[in-house]
């Protein structure tokens, strides 16, 4: 019996060994085939990958930082293998320009990933949709109907009302200046309320979802799983094992979100049937999409707008719109509170325009040159998407001296670019003055490749204007309404997810800077 068991163990061990040898041979074959496909060109340099896992072991807890360290050794265009996926990481503005402008069409695709499949209705949203006619129609819908200058302006009163509400909540939570408040939480609630009012016309409380899950809990879980590392995205034969449990969590939270989005759409449809619309009410984005869907039934267009399209757009707005705005304001406040001289200068600028007898209006922001430089400096050091959303090559392409194979995943490490000493003087110092004066201004909307917080080209973020409007007004109001103090040094640790927020909440104590009536 023991002899038989020993024989079975030896046989199983031999079988595993043969399987691993087969995988190694296959891996080497694919590498050689990929190299030969490039003709005379060669792959970019990079660290030697391990069999099966490739370079995944080198990512660490903060991949943007780990990849920046690797780039210092291997260069600003670097080739790695994440599992079976060929990957290129870019850490230079000039090389990023080659990928995102010169060869923009080749790299306009998105890879198939678990987030797109299980969260975004099988890649039916804008952010994760593959490049093609469907994506073009969805992008057109966003840029021509939803995120225009006129539409952004129509929500100005919403932004001003919600920012004023944030100020009031901070003042009351602090016991009128007696204790510190969780600034992170207040900023997150602000972004959440603004985005919800833009797409649905109202805010949502924690008791409005099914299954006993709060609204904020749903948003937190969506952000957590959307930004989670899914090993099956890189080692395909492990996809169905769901080793981290992320795919299961995605399905659960997506079901909750779908019920929420269906409720929002039904509310709008019922209100339209009952003709209970307030004529003076600003149309929210679901209103606009339903209007277009009705027109489609009368005069069919290239893409019929369905409930899935509306839900996918709501998903993008909740995931990207809330996270990017809140993390940017959060980091800006962290940097300003850690640099008192910057706080004083910003407050002096705002007061010189607004005075102390009123709050900031959105129209005032255009006069705050220094504050807008603070926002740019925040984007440089703390880009909301440090690696952007990954691109994928649709065909083989020669970029400079190197060959990039088809189906290669491309990460643009804007976090590393923002800390490059060859581009920025004193790159680790928070210094808004670097953007002051003629010739120093940088465009954050994709024209200057030194600063790409929202990406650029075909896959650039269509909601840039709305995001900037929230960030600038919120920051201006926080600095104008209160004097701020913190105990000790501001902790600047970060965590990696859908975006890169602070690891710990920002706690600070407000003191009244304006007359009492402007704070409540």
Per-residue exposure over 81-118, b if at least 16 CB sit within 10 Å of its own CB, e if not: bbbbbbbbbbbbbebbbbbbeebbebbbbbbebbbbbb
User: What is the pLDDT averaged over residues 216-226?
Assistant: 93
pLDDT band at 518 (very low <50, low <70, confident <90, very high): confident
Q: The domain at 41-518 falls in which architecture? A: Orthogonal Bundle (1.10)
The pLDDT of residue 517: 87
Instruction: Indicate the pLDDT class of residue 480, thresholds 50, 70 and 90.
Output: very high
Q: Which residues contact 238 (CB under 8 A, 6 or more apart)?
A: 231, 232
Reduce the DSSP state of residue 488 to 3 states and report it.
coil
The pLDDT of residue 288 is above 80 = yes
Q: Given a cut of 70, is residue 332 above it in pLDDT?
A: yes
Task: Please check the confidence at residue 2 and state whether its pLDDT lies above 80.
Answer: no
Q: Using one digit for the tens of pLDDT, what is the confidence trace for 398-447?
A: 999 999 999 999 999 999 999 999 999 999 999 999 999 877 788 898 88
- pLDDT value at 41 more than 70: no
- 199 versus 5: the higher-pLDDT residue is 199
Instruction: Write out pLDDT tens, residues 111-134.
Output: 999 999 999 999 999 999 999 999
What pLDDT, on a 0 to 100 scale, did the predictor assign at position 282? 79
What is the chain's mean pLDDT, rounded? 90
> Where residue 277 falls among pLDDT bands split at 50, 70, 90?
low
pLDDT, tens digit (0-9, with 9 covering 90-100), for 448-465: 999 999 999 999 999 999
Mean pLDDT of 1-25: 50
**What are the residues whose beta carbons fall under 8 Å from the beta carbon of 18, sequence distance 6 or more?**
none
pLDDT in tens, 173-215: 999 999 999 999 999 999 999 999 999 999 998 777 766 678 9
Residue 446: Cβ within 10 Å count:
18
Domain edges within the chain: 41-518
Res 441: pLDDT = 82
So what's the pLDDT on residue 297?
A: 65
* Helix 156-173 × helix 183-200 angle, to 10°: 150
pLDDT tier, 1 (very low <50, low <70, confident <90, very high otherwise): very low
Query: Once rounded to an integer, what is the mean pLDDT over residues 42-59?
Result: 95
Q: How far apart are CA 328 and CA 501, in angstroms?
A: 8
- The pLDDT of residue 4 is 45
CA distances from 11 to 3, 23, 125, 275 (A): 12, 18, 49, 74
Q: Among 24-33, 183-192, 289-298, which range has the highest average pLDDT? A: 183-192
Residue with tokens 């990023």: 96
Least confident segment among 26-35, 286-295, 479-488? 26-35
pTM equals 0.90
**Residue 142 known to bind ligand:** no
Residue 211: predicted pLDDT: 64
Band (243; pLDDT cuts 50, 70, 90) = confident
- Of all residues in the chain, the percent with pLDDT exceeding 70 is 89
- Quick one: tokens of 122? 């099988």
**Proportion of the chain above pLDDT 90, given as a percent:** 79
Judged by phi (left if over 0) then psi (alpha if -120 to 50, else beta), residue 71 lies in alpha
pLDDT at 301: 62
Q: Which of 467, 506, 489, 491 is nearest to 383 (CA)?
A: 467
């Amino acid at each position: 019996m023991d002899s038989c068991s020993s024989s079975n163990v030896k046989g199983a061990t031999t079988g595993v060994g043969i399987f691993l040898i087969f995988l190694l041979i296959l891996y080497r074959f694919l590498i050689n085939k990929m190299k030969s496909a490039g003709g005379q060109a060669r792959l970019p340099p990079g660290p030697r990958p391990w069999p099966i896992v490739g370079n995944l072991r080198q990512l660490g807890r903060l991949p943007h930082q780990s990849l920046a360290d690797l780039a210092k050794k291997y260069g600003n265009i670097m080739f790695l293998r994440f599992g079976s996926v060929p990957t290129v990481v870019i850490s230079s503005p000039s090389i990023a320009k080659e990928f995102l402008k010169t060869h923009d069409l080749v790299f306009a695709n998105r890879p198939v990933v678990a987030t797109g499949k299980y969260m975004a209705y099988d890649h039916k949203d804008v952010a994760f949709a593959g490049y093609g006619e469907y994506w073009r129609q969805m992008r057109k819908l966003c840029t021509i109907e939803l995120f225009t200058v006129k539409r952004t302006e129509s929500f100005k009163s919403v932004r001003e009302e919600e920012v004023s509400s944030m100020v009031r909540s901070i003042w009351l939570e602090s016991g009128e200046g007696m204790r510190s408040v969780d600034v992170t939480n207040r900023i997150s609630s602000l972004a959440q309320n603004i985005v919800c009012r833009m797409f649905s016309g109202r805010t949502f409380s924690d008791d409005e979802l099914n299954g006993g899950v709060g609204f904020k809990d749903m948003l937190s879980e969506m952000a957590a799983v959307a930004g989670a590392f899914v090993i099956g995205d890189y080692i395909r034969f492990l996809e169905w094992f769901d080793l981290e449990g992320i795919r299961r969590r995605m399905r659960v939270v997506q079901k909750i979100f779908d019920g929420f989005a269906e409720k929002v759409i039904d509310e709008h449809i019922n209100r339209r049937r009952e003709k209970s619309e307030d004529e003076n009410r600003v149309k929210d984005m679901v209103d606009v999409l339903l209007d277009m869907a009705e027109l489609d039934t009368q005069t069919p267009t290239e893409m019929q707008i369905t409930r899935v399209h509306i839900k996918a757009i709501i998903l993008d707005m909740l995931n990207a719109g809330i996270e990017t705005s809140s993390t940017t304001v959060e980091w800006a406040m962290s940097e300003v509170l850690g640099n008192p001289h910057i706080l004083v200068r910003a407050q002096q600028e705002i007061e010189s325009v607004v005075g102390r007898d009123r709050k900031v209006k959105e129209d005032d922001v255009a006069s705050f040159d220094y504050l807008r430089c603070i926002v740019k400096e925040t984007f440089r050091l703390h880009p909301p998407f440090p690696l952007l959303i990954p691109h994928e090559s649709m065909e083989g392409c020669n970029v400079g001296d190197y060959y990039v194979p088809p189906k290669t995943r491309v990460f643009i490490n804007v976090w590393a670019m923002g800390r490059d000493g060859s581009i920025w003087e004193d790159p680790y110092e928070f210094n808004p003055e670097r953007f002051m004066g003629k010739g120093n201004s940088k465009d954050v909307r994709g024209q200057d490749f030194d600063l790409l917080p929202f990406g650029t080209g075909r896959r650039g973020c269509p909601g840039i204007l709305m995001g900037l409007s929230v960030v600038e007004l919120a920051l201006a109001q926080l600095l104008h309404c209160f004097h701020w103090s913190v105990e000790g040094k501001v902790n600047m640790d970060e965590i990696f997810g859908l975006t890169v927020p602070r690891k710990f909440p920002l706690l600070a104590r407000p003191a009244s800077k304006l007359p009492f009536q402007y704070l409540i």
